[in-house]
Structure 1
Amino acid sequence: MSRTRLLGAAMLLALASTAHASSFVVTTDTVVRGVAASTNATSDASSSLRDDKIVRAARDDAASFVASQGAIRGVKLESAFAHIRQQAPTLQASDAQLAQAILAI
């Protein structure tokens, strides 16, 4: 094999490994940002509603909701969801995130 071909193959290999590493970094950064946003929403909800009686009363329903992956939705939990969303209308959290926040209190 000529030196030119060897040099070309080495350059292609170097470029391919660089592209693979950078795509891994982008994927990892995206996943980490998503988890951080979810954690922030959960912690914001739990810290501001720690002493709320409606939310505290929904703990058992929240545990059932989380354990059943959303299949069991108790009356107290639905009331707590409505109350939380009324108190914090800009909070962008799913029902699952809110249930986890209620359990974290």
Structure 2
Amino acid sequence: MTPIRLFGAAALLSLSTMASASSFIGTTDMIGSALIGTTESSTDMSSGDDKIVLAAREDAASFVASRGDIRGAHLESALQVIRAKAPSLQATDLELAEAILAR
């Protein structure tokens, strides 16, 4: 990601979170806790799956900053891993991307 795109994504992210900071924090805490609980309690979670989720941070930042318009391949892979490991998790792609960033 070029420095200009990264700066733009960071600026959009900061502007979008200022308007609803408390709901963002609440959502991030809730989804983050659910993901952490799922990954920690899952005995079949491989380190490869965890690496896929961690590698998606940059794509997740772009996704959140663009309000879902920019979907990277790393994020798509991470969302598939998360949904496969926690099928009962009721979260939108945006909420999961925010949780990946908070991790």
Residue 80 (1) aligns with residue 82 (2): no
Residue type of the alignment partner of 2:76: E
Q: Which has the larger radius of gyration?
A: 1
Q: Does 1:62 align with 2:60?
A: yes
| Partner SS state of residue 80, structure 1 | helix
Q: Distance in 2 between matches of 1:46 and 1:65?
A: 21
Question: Normalising by structure 1, what TM-score?
Answer: 0.59
Q: Secondary structure at the match of 2:31?
A: helix
Equivalent-residue separation in structure 2 for 1:56 and 1:36 (angstroms): 20
Gap runs ≥5 in structure 2: 1-22, 41-46
Listed as ranges, the gaps of 5+ residues in structure 1 are 1-33
Shift of 1:42: 3.7
Pairs within 5 Å for 1:26-105 = 38=27, 39-49=29-39, 52-105=50-103
Deviation string 1:43-97 (CA, Å, 9 cap, x unpaired) is: 2124544871110000000000000010000000000001100000000000010
* Number of residue pairs aligned between Structure 1 and Structure 2: 72
Identity %: 53
> Which gives a bigger RCO, structure 1 or 2 (Cα 8 Å, sep 6+)?
2
